[in-house]
Amino acid sequence: MKNSSKLALGLGVAAVTIPMFSSGLKRDLTFAQWIWNHTKWGSLPTYLPRENLQASVDEFGIRHVDGHYYAMKRYGWEEHDLREWITPDDSLVKEYSCVLWNEDRDTFILNVWDWVCSEFVYGRELWGDFWRFPTETLTIEENYEKAVALHNEMRLPVLPPRRPITDCEDLSYLATSLLIAGGVDAYADIGHYGNIMHAWVTVDRNGVEHIIEPTLSGRLMGILLQVDPWLTIDRYPEYVARYRFNHLTVHHLTR
């Protein structure tokens, strides 16, 4: 196959598989999804003037409808209530929470925090902003370990699989779910760290709100545990939450 043909084939595959098209309210569609959306078999597209669309979804990709908050952060324009991303009742989340659990509440919080920071690799997604549910984040790590084991068993003459990257929302929703499953009153926060959009976790400890920053490296978390891991909100005004939620409630903060 000629280089030009290979290039054309590569561009064609990218155009079909990369979510880069929009149709009315539906964004981040692949070309195949866009085609489906414009056939009689696909769902009817909803069209709105651009100014109405911009007014209905805020900078975080969240839409307000009658006191409910929906995030459009999945491919194919899936829309989910914010509370759906916190899943303390999920069986896999409960399993991991039990492994990390300690009867001392502070120790349990630190166990979850340290494990999330040490076990997962934080990084920015290459394309868009896809929110994973906690089970998906846990399964990603399991699948990675299985792939590495298979690679080592077969002695393949290629590089081992790359460890998957998770971003701040993925880690925050996982940590919040693990903490709640273990009996801690925890919330996921979406807002800004300085002028950067960010997500983190807050817990109430002795009547004082503390920040659980899930994107620290394992090494930095280890140092923090030896010094003073409890980050109170008043010491870190850079963290400004706009949404605070768990599996039960959503608070839209305007401070």
Each of the 255 residues of the chain gets a pLDDT tens digit; together they read 566 666 667 666 666 677 767 665 566 677 777 777 777 666 655 554 444 444 578 889 898 888 899 998 887 667 899 999 999 999 999 999 999 999 999 999 999 999 999 888 888 766 668 899 999 999 887 777 777 787 788 876 666 666 678 999 999 999 999 999 999 999 999 999 999 999 999 999 988 999 999 998 877 777 777 778 888 888 899 999 999 999 999 999 975
CATH architecture of the domain 85-252 equals Roll (3.10)
Q: What is the pTM of this model?
A: 0.74
Amino acid present at 158: V
- Write out the H or E segment, with its range, that includes residue 22: strand 21-23
- Percentage of the residues of the chain whose pLDDT score is greater than 70: 78
* pLDDT given at position 78: 76
Beta bridge partners of 192: 197, 240
Rounded Cα distance between 14 and 55, Å, is 31
Where do the CATH 3.10.620.30 domains begin and end in the chain? Answer: 85-252
Rounded Cα distance between 152 and 27, Å, is 40
Concatenated DSSP letters of 173-214:
HHHHHHHHHTT--EEEEEEEETTEEEEEEEEEETTEEEEE-T
Alpha carbon of residue 17 to chain centroid: 21
| Sign of the CA dihedral with 77 first, then 78, 84, and 89 last | negative
